Amino acid sequence: MVGFSCLGIVALIIVIGAIGAALTGSSDTADTSNKPAPAPSASSAPAEKPSPEKPPAEKPKGSQADQFKAFVAKNGTAAEKKAVKHVTRVQGAGEQNNLLDTAEIHTDYTGGLLGPHGGDGKLLASIFAEWKASKNGLVTVYDSAGEILANGNY
């Protein structure tokens, strides 16, 4: 019995180490592929016209909740548009790493998972999955008391 519990602890340490390695990436200092190339000398190449620079991509304006509501207003069904009127806040939809993305939608609904608005919570989770995409995302919809209404993958 003691041997099996020690084996479990060793396996847990290995799994934690693997997750840590995956999250931090490799830090090989011998890699020289990221070093910038030396600047060309003035005599080696004729002066070139600088290429016109593209303006930086504009960040979406407004809060994540406002962006989500705008997406639903444009792409949602009538039921989704009705449900999104109850959204008070959206968190975690900004940056994604595709390892473990989590987002939260807070609403003014009441009743929790088994309450009368569970279906509306599922609608919100579903349209969120159309708005954002991730390899491994989980969106959770909460009611006004902080209880889970619904969740879904995105």
Q: What is the mean pLDDT of residues 15-44?
A: 56
Planar angle of CA 87, 90, 91, nearest 5 degrees: 160
Tell me what pLDDT residue 27 has.
47
Confidence check: pLDDT of 38 > 90: no
**87 occurs within a structural domain:** yes
CA neighbor of 136 nearest in space, from 3, 23, 18: 23
The two three-digit tokens of residue 93, written as one number? 């939809």
Confidence check: pLDDT of 147 > 70: yes
**23 occurs within a structural domain:** no
Distances (CA, A) of 6 to 10, 14, 17, 20, 126: 6, 12, 17, 21, 43
Q: How far apart are CA 90 and CA 85, in angstroms?
A: 13
**Torsion angle, CA of 13/16/17/18, rounded to 10 degrees?**
120
Tell me what pLDDT residue 40 has.
54
**128 occurs within a structural domain:** yes
- Indicate the pLDDT class of residue 123, thresholds 50, 70 and 90: very high
**15 occurs within a structural domain:** no
Name the more confident of 10 and 115. 115
Q: What is the mean pLDDT of residues 103-132?
A: 96
Q: What is the mean pLDDT of residues 107-132?
A: 95
Q: Where are the alpha helices (DSSP H) in 38-117?
A: 64-75, 78-84
**24 occurs within a structural domain:** no
The two three-digit tokens of residue 9, written as one number? 């602890």
Determine the 3-state secondary structure of 104 from DSSP. Answer: strand
Confidence check: pLDDT of 13 > 50: yes
Tell me what pLDDT residue 29 has.
47
Tell me what pLDDT residue 135 has.
87
Total domains, the chain:
1
Tell me what pLDDT residue 15 has.
63
The two three-digit tokens of residue 131, written as one number? 């708005």
Domain that holds residue 93: 64-153
**16 occurs within a structural domain:** no
Q: What is the mean pLDDT of residues 3-25?
A: 63
Question: Which of 25-39, 60-74, 114-128 comes out lowest in average pLDDT?
Answer: 25-39
Tell me what pLDDT residue 97 has.
85
Spacing of C-alpha 59 from chain mean position = 16
Tell me what pLDDT residue 2 has.
55
**143 occurs within a structural domain:** yes
Q: What residue type is assigned to position 30 of the chain?
A: A
